[in-house]
Copies of this chain bind each other. A is one copy, B any other.
Amino acid sequence: MTFVAANETYAGSDVTRPKSLTVWFTGLSGAGKTTICKAVATELLAHGLQVELIDGDVIRNYLCKDLGFSKNDRDENIRRIAFVSQLLTRNGAIVLVSAISPYRAARDAARHSIGDFMEVHVNTPLAVCQVCDPKELYKKARAGKITGFTGIDGPYEPPLSPEITCYTDQESTRESSSKVVAAVLQYLTPTSA
């Protein structure tokens, strides 16, 4: 690892960078991860904070064209997202990751490598995701046109102790995002010694 750890403390001074973190949204396809992410981003921006949204689907286009949806490929996908999130977080951006990330170990590894990390489980029941199904992916998966689809013939391992759970079938987007924003703002507040 030859990266310059440049941003924890400015060299030549005692000024420490403002604390930052990665907020990792995990949940089924169609659970509403990106919708909540965008609402959180809007609120944090209104607080004058620096935000970067990392959407799993977008990253697949830019960094992971070679990867499919096997367990190994999903793990490698998450490793790459975690790597980029780590770089951005240590440079002061509040990173909002939206990714199904079905495997617990991969998310825990991301938590470990990034350090400043908050896990948000967008806990929408599978039945609800299947009814909405805006891209008709569940329909295709049930018909066997897509294989290894999370929740149908691919596993989803929910977080055991996420910092936040959004119950999107009982909460509005605004209620979900406000919980996350409050937790982020608290995380960023300097604690007195």
Contacts and interface: CB of A to CB of B under 8 A. Distances in A.
Interface string A149-183: 00000000000000000000000000000000000
A10 B42 CA distance: 11
A23 to B, nearest CB: 13
Residue among A6, A7, A63 with the highest chain B CB neighbour number at 10 A:
A6
Nearest to A1: B58
Interface string A53-78: 11100100011011100000000100
Interface of A: 1-4, 6-7, 10-13, 15, 17, 34, 38, 41-42, 45-55, 58, 62-63, 65-67, 76, 79-80, 83-84, 87-88, 91-93
8 nearest CB pairs, A to B: A11-B45, A66-B66, A6-B51, A91-B93, A4-B53, A62-B83, A10-B48, A4-B41
26 contacts: A1-B58, A2-B34, A2-B55, A3-B53, A4-B38, A4-B45, A6-B45, A6-B50, A6-B51, A6-B52, A6-B53, A6-B93, A7-B50, A7-B51, A7-B93, A10-B49, A11-B48, A12-B45, A13-B48, A50-B91, A52-B87, A62-B83, A63-B63, A84-B84, A87-B88, A91-B92
